[in-house]
Structure 1
Amino acid sequence: MTEPLIRADDLHKTFPGTGRKEARVPILRGISLGVHPGEMVSIVGPSGSGKSTLLYCLSGLEPYDSGAVRLAGRGLGKLGRGRLAALRREHVGFVFQSYNLIPSLTARENIALPARLARRGASRAAIDQTLAEVGLTGRGRHRPGQLSGGQQQRVAIARVLAMRPDIVFADEPTGSLDTSTGTDVLRLLRASAGEGRSVVVVTHDLEAAALADRVLVLRDGLIHSELRHPRPEQVLEAITYAGAAA
């Protein structure tokens, strides 16, 4: 089997307590996992189980207390801020619920921006091709305020796909979308995993989670169970069981 693009070993993370003298609160309590090229993994679980914190630690957006994370073959623990940012620019794409588009830029300009910042450049033809891939042909000149929520999320995904990253992290990418639009967005992410990328999605959407090759169910900062190619009802059952056992 190929080497995982993402690997975590005995990952721990705590947050400060509510008071100055209170003990730190454990969020991740020894998580180990691997995500291989071409694989889509969904992370689900009851509220407060550590889903988003795990995503941020795996992507290098959040420091962890102990354990180890390797991203695209590089250990994150000893990387300084500059090298960590360079690693993310080279290998990682992010899709979040808030879209993070720049209002004054057109869809085409938003898509081209990360490539410009990375000094790669992106041809107009390549950007138009990416717009076509996400179903936004003819919308390249529109600014975010002229697009629906679903269209803005498609621009956000196109911005990631245009960079051709090895790894895509998505945190609740359908949280503010209607069911039909959300399904379309998740299928775009599913297709991108089929092109050899690793895709890791945190979601509360059962249909979205079931699109993944594997579903990791978190409870109290630990992997409570793992499902392979599950049906939505199996995901619901696993989350319900994890919540009841918490």
Structure 2
Amino acid sequence: MTEPLIHAANLHKTFPGAGRRQPRVPVLRGISLDVHPGEMIGIVGPSGSGKSTLLSCLSGLESYDSGTIRVAGQDLAALRRGALAALPRRHIGFVFQSFNLIPSLSARENVALPARLARRKVQRPDVDRALSDVGLTDRGGHRPGQLSGGQQQRVAIARVLALRPDIVFADEPTGSLDTATGADVLRLLRASSGHGRSVVMVTHDLEAAALADRVLVLRDGTIHDELRHPTPEQVFDSVSRAGAGA
């Protein structure tokens, strides 16, 4: 078995209570997991189960109270602020529901932007190849406002692919898309896993989750179930049991 790209052990996270004297609210309660190179992992569960919080902690976007997270062999807790900020530029890419494109920039410029911010040399062929991979070769000069929602999400995926990260984190990547467009985006994410790259995706779409190699079903900040190559029906049954507290 290869060394995991992500290793989390006994992860705990709390949020402040509603009032100053209220106790902190547990969100993650001792979660442990590994993500290996080339894997696509789906994370599902009822509302409030901790899905997005887990994704944020694993990616270094959010701190955690206790436990261990290692990304590409680096302990997140041991990294200084500057090193932690640089970690995503080298190893991590993000795909969000809101696209996060710059309206005044063309699709090609949006794809190249993260590399420029990281002070990495931007190669036009790499940007064009990333746009070609998502089927937008003829849209490179268009600004986000001139693109459909599905096309904007594909630009967001091309922006990640151009960086060639080890890990892609996706938080509800199809939440604002219609069914057909969402299916296209999911196929792109599925295709982007492999060749040593991993995808970790939070989704409420159970058919989307079933595309993953493994599906983690969360309940009350714990891993309620783990499914390998499940059908959508198996994911639905597991999430239903989690929601019912079974």
TM-score (normalised: structure 2): 0.99
Q: Match of 2:238, as an amino acid? A: A
Deviation at 1:185, TM superposition (A): 0.5
1:64-123: CA deviation from partner (whole Å, max 9, x where unpaired)? 000000001000012122110111111000000000000000000000011111122222
Q: Is the 8 A contact 1:40 1:190 kept in 2?
A: yes
CA distance in 2, matches of 1:165, 1:88: 8
Deviation at 1:45, TM superposition (A): 0.2
CA distance in 2, matches of 1:157, 1:199: 12
Determine the structure 1 residue equivalent to 2:63.
Answer: 63
Deviation at 1:198, TM superposition (A): 1.1
Q: Match of 1:198, as an amino acid? A: S
Query: Does structure 1 residue 136 correspond to structure 2 residue 136?
Result: yes
2:29 match: secondary structure: strand
Q: Match of 1:166, as an amino acid? A: D
Determine the structure 2 residue equivalent to 1:53.
Answer: 53
Q: Match of 2:171, as an amino acid? A: D
Q: Match of 1:102, as an amino acid? A: I
2:102 match: secondary structure: coil
Query: Does structure 1 residue 16 correspond to structure 2 residue 19?
Result: no
2:174 match: secondary structure: coil
Q: Is the 8 A contact 1:112 1:121 kept in 2?
A: no
Q: Is the 8 A contact 1:169 1:201 kept in 2?
A: yes
Gaps of 5+ in 1: none
Q: For the aligned residues, what is the CA RMSD?
A: 0.8
Q: Match of 1:217, as an amino acid? A: V
Gaps of 5+ in 2: none
CA distance in 1, matches of 2:134, 2:155: 8
2:193 match: secondary structure: helix
Determine the structure 1 residue equivalent to 2:5.
Answer: 5
1:2 match: secondary structure: coil
Deviation at 1:125, TM superposition (A): 1.6
2:78 match: secondary structure: coil
The percentage of aligned residue pairs carrying the same residue is 77
Determine the structure 2 residue equivalent to 1:175.
Answer: 175
CA distance in 1, matches of 2:133, 2:49: 34
CA distance in 2, matches of 1:198, 1:50: 21
Determine the structure 2 residue equivalent to 1:240.
Answer: 240
Query: Does structure 1 residue 43 correspond to structure 2 residue 23?
Result: no
Determine the structure 1 residue equivalent to 2:74.
Answer: 74
Q: Match of 1:92, as an amino acid? A: I
Query: Does structure 1 residue 158 correspond to structure 2 residue 158?
Result: yes
Deviation at 1:193, TM superposition (A): 0.6
Determine the structure 1 residue equivalent to 2:125.
Answer: 125
Determine the structure 2 residue equivalent to 1:87.
Answer: 87
Q: Which stretch shifts more, 74-83 or 13-22?
A: 74-83
1:207-246 map, 5 Å = 207-245=207-245
Q: Which stretch shifts more, 192-201 or 169-178?
A: 192-201
Deviation at 1:195, TM superposition (A): 2.7
Q: Is the 8 A contact 1:69 1:76 kept in 2?
A: yes
1:189-245: CA deviation from partner (whole Å, max 9, x where unpaired)? 111112321110000011110000000000000000000000111111100000001
CA distance in 2, matches of 1:204, 1:195: 27
